[in-house]
Amino acid sequence: MLTVRDVMVKKVIVIRSDQNVKRAAQMMAQFGIGCLVVLKDNMVAGMLTESDLLDRALAAVVNPETTLVDQVMSSPVITVGPETSLEDAVELMFKHKIKKLPVVEQKVDERRLVGLVTLTDIARLYPALIKTLKKFFEMIGEEPPRNLEKVMNFYIV
């Protein structure tokens, strides 16, 4: 059985929660990524996605130089361990209507960020799982959440 460790990205771009939104947007553009894992006191505190920037910063017309990441990030954050099965990871994404999960390893009294897994990563390596999700939505007669629908339509012909 495939686990999150098998598909996760190990080099995760992070930002501190006390950085401003302008810096976050610059980092996302610089690295060509759609999200940043937000750290506070070296612990995962949230996620900052392109949608967060659009909905909570641009659409809200806040000053990107004075608005801090922790004011617009998504939180609380849902995390998984590296040994979580891909099926369980996708189930969590579906349940919480998200596409990205920070991967956190529990050490004695510390939770350390070790990776990031996205629905896109899983779809690339395990398209049968995405087909199953698509059939599920058809079976229950509901439209998938917008953020999941894009991934399903892109990877399922």
Domain boundaries defined on the chain: 4-155
Question: What confidence category does residue 157 fall into, taking pLDDT thresholds of 50, 70 and 90?
Answer: very low
| Whole-number percent of the chain with pLDDT over 70 | 88
Lowest mean pLDDT among 72-81, 111-120, 129-138: 129-138
**pLDDT tens-digit map of 120-156:** 888 777 666 667 777 777 887 877 766 667 666 665 5
Average pLDDT over residues 26-50: 95
Residue/partner pairs of 109-113 with CB below 8 Å, 24 or more apart: 111/43, 111/44, 111/79, 113/12, 113/14, 113/37, 113/39, 113/44
Neighbours of 29 (CB within 10 A): 9
- What's the predicted TM-score (pTM) here? 0.79
Give yes or no for a contact between 121 and 100, defined as CB atoms under 8 angstroms apart: no
CA separation, residue 49 to residues 14, 23, 33, 83 (Å): 12, 13, 9, 25
Tokens of 146: 């917008």
The overall longest dimension of the chain from CA atoms, in Å, is 47
CATH code of 4-155, in short, is: 3.10.580.10
Per-chain mean pLDDT for the chain: 88
Confidence of residue 18 (pLDDT cuts 50, 70, 90): very high
108 pLDDT band, cuts 50/70/90, is confident
